[in-house]
Amino acid sequence: MSTPAREMRREDRRDAILDVAYECFVADGYGSTSMSTIAARLGGSKGTLYNYFRSKEELFAAFVRRSCSELRHDIDSMPPEGDLRGRLVQMARHLLDHLLLPEAIAIYRVVVGEGERFPELTRLFYEAGPRAGVGRMGEALQDLMERGELRRADPMLAAHQFKDLALSGVYNLRLLGMIEDPTPEERTARAEIAVDTFLRAYAP
Amino acid sequence: MSTPAREMRREDRRDAILDVAYECFVADGYGSTSMSTIAARLGGSKGTLYNYFRSKEELFAAFVRRSCSELRHDIDSMPPEGDLRGRLVQMARHLLDHLLLPEAIAIYRVVVGEGERFPELTRLFYEAGPRAGVGRMGEALQDLMERGELRRADPMLAAHQFKDLALSGVYNLRLLGMIEDPTPEERTARAEIAVDTFLRAYAP
DNA sequence: GTCTATAAATGGATAGAC
DNA sequence: GTCTATCCATTTATAGAC
C-alpha cells in the first residue's frame, strides 16, 4: 500500500477536524469561532488541533480549500438530451441544484463575509466555483450557437445571463436566508421560466 | 429649538462612533472587530463607547440600521425620459450605480457574512434594499406593460430578471472583490447590453 | 499523538475619579 | 460624559506528562 495504516488514520482524524471546523465556521464565521469550541465539539483538545494545523488561520484556509475542491468535483458530468428547450431547461435546473446546495450557499456566505481578510481564499473559491461553472456553460452555449440552434453572440456574456436568469429571484434571497430551499417542483418551474426568457432573447 | 445644543453634540458624537464602527465592521466583520479597536480608532475610550451603546451587539445593530436607512434614502428619485430603450437604459444604469456603491457592496458583504447570527438585521437590510428596489422596478415595468410598451407578463418576475440582467457578470464578481469598480463608460455599456437582451425578451 | 495545565494576550464590560 | 484602571472570562498558542 502506498498509504500505511498509520497515515490513513491521521488523514481520517484530519478530516474529522475539518468536518467540525466546517460546522463552526459556517455557523459563526471566522472571527466568532474559537479553537476551543472546535476542540470541544471534536471531543478532543486544542493541543491536538495544533498538531494538525499550525494556526487558526491555517485551519480556516484548509476548510475553505476542501470546500472548494468538493464544489469543483460536484460540478462535473451532465449530458443534456432532447430538444433545445428541454436541454436548456436541464442545464438551468442543474445549475439551480448545484448552486442552491446548502454547502454551496454556506461556503459562499463565509467567503464573501471573510473576503476582505482572506483575498487569496476568495480567488480560490472564485476559480473553483463561479468561473469554472460559467466557463462550462459558455462552452455549451457556444456549441449551440455554432450549430445554429442559438443566435450568434458572445458565448460568455450569454452564459452569465443564462446563469443569472436561472438564479433570478432565488439565489440572493436564499443567500440572505429570506426564503427556504426551493422544492424540486419550484426549481423546475424556475428553470423553465428562465429558459423561456433566455430563448426569447437568443433564438436564431 | 426642538434639539438643544447639548443633545446635538451627543448626536454628533454618536455619529462619529458609528463612522468608526462602520470602517471596522466592514474591514474585519463582527467577530474579528473588538470594542478596544473601535475605541482606539475613535481616539476615545471604551467607557465612552458603552455610554452610547449598551453592548457590542447593539453597536453592530446600530451600524447596520444606519447603513440601511442610507440605502433607502439613496434609492429615491429618478424620472427616466426619452424613448423606451433610452428609459430602460437609464433605469439599468441607475441600478448599477446604486448597487455598486462601495457602501452598498460593503454592507451587503457584512450582512451576508453575519446573517446566520443576526437574522433580524438581515431582514431589515432586505426590506430596505433589494425588496424596495425590485418593488419600485416592478411598478415601473407594470406601467410600461399597461401602456403597451412591453409585453404583458408578471411585473415582479420581469423586475427580478431586469435587475439580474443589469448586474450580470459584475455584481457577484465585485462582491467577491475579483474586479475593480466599473468605470462610467463600462456601466453604460453594460446597461445597454442588459436592456438589449431584456427588450428581445419583453418587446410586445 | 493526545491529553491537562498554563502561559500571555486580548476580549467585553464596569467602577470610580474628574 | 469622558477618562484611567481594572475585573474576569476567553482567546490563541505552547509545555510537558503520559
Domain boundaries, chain A: 1-54, 56-202
pLDDT band at A73 (very low <50, low <70, confident <90, very high): confident
Find residues whose C-beta atom lies within 7 angstroms of strand C: A 6, 10, 13, 43-48, 51-52; B 33-37, 45-47, 50, 54-57
Q: Is the pLDDT of residue A74 over 70?
A: no
Instruction: Tell me the CATH architecture of domain A1-54.
Output: Orthogonal Bundle (1.10)
DSSP assignment of A108-144 equals HHHHHHHTTT-HHHHHHHHIIIIIHHHHHHHHHHHHH
- Minimal Cα distance from A198: which residue of B? B201
Nearest nt to the CA of A33 via C1' is D11
Nucleotides of C under 7 A from a protein CB: 1-6, 10-16
Nearest Cα to Cα of residue A126 among B179, B180, B26, B107: B179
Does the CB of B43 sit below 7 A from strand D? yes
Confidence (pLDDT) at A16: 97
For the domain spanning A56-202, the CATH number is: 1.10.357.10
Any residues with CB less than 8 A from the CB of B33 and at least 6 apart, and which?
Answer: A31, B21, B24, B25, B27
Kindly state the DSSP code that residue B183 receives in the 8-state scheme: P
d(CA B199, CA B188): 16
The whole-model pTM stands at 0.96
Q: Is the pLDDT of residue A11 over 80?
A: yes
Nearest Cα to Cα of residue A114 among B30, B97, B99, B85: B30
- Mean pLDDT (whole number) for B176-199: 98
What confidence tens digit (pLDDT) does each residue in B100-145 have? 999 999 999 999 999 999 999 999 999 999 999 999 999 999 999 9
